[in-house]
């Protein structure tokens, strides 16, 4: 934005699209259902301070926790820890195995370009400059956002728990501090 003068809704970062995809895949494996039927997002930073939004996750139109319990595959603390680790550590495992993660991000960026070019108005966890997140002003971070031909059309911020609000605030603060350290 500083370099181009473009408005915030037109300067879009890939954000947590890969983390969100990994979260859904790991949930799908645990639940034994197609990850495309899971609506769950990773918020904030693409990195160590990212927030897996467990409290707003859904399977179809059902709450994740109640669906999992009713299906005989509850989301225990051990399951959460395993999935959390799987999401956060995936890039390191891919780099160890292939040397880089460019295939995943390439596919993710192609998906975003398709959404924008086709004016899909579809929801993706991308990063744009956000006026206020948990009291942190003007910070670029990921939230579920609607993408169309003009860029980000709107936000679809999930309802999250108090703990997730606090963790998202910490992620926003980390990103804000990093942004302020970069001089352009």
Residues that are catalytic: 46
Quote the crossing angle between the two packed helices 77-98 and 17-31, to the nearest 10°. Answer: 120
CB 101 within 8 Å of CB 92: no
Enclosing H/E stretch for 61: none
* Angle 38-133-8 from CA coordinates, rounded to 5°: 90
CB 153 within 8 Å of CB 147: yes
Which among 152, 119, 114, 135 is positioned nearest to 15, based on CA atoms?
152
Q: Under 8 Å CB-to-CB from 147, ≥6 apart: which residues? A: 12, 112, 115, 116, 120, 121, 122, 123, 124, 126, 153
Which tokens is 144 given?
């579920």
């Amino acid at each position: 934005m500083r370099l181009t003068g473009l408005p915030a809704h037109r300067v879009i970062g890939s954000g947590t699209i890969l983390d969100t995809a990994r979260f859904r895949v790991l949930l799908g494996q645990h639940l034994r259902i197609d990850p495309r039927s899971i609506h769950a997002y990773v918020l904030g930073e693409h990195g160590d301070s990212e927030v897996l939004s467990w409290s707003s996750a859904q399977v179809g139109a059902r709450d994740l926790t109640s669906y999992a319990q009713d299906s005989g595959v509850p989301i225990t603390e051990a399951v959460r820890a395993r999935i959390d680790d799987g999401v956060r550590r995936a890039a390191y495992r891919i780099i160890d195995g292939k040397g880089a993660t460019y295939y995943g991000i390439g596919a993710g960026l192609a998906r975003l370009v398709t959404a924008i070019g086709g004016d899909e108005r579809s929801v993706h966890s991308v990063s744009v400059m956000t006026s206020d997140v948990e009291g942190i002003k003007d910070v670029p971070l990921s939230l579920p956002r609607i993408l169309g031909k003009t860029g980000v059309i709107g936000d679809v911020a999930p309802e999250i728990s108090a703990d997730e609000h606090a963790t998202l605030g910490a992620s926003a603060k980390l990103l804000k501090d990093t942004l302020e350290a970069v001089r352009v």
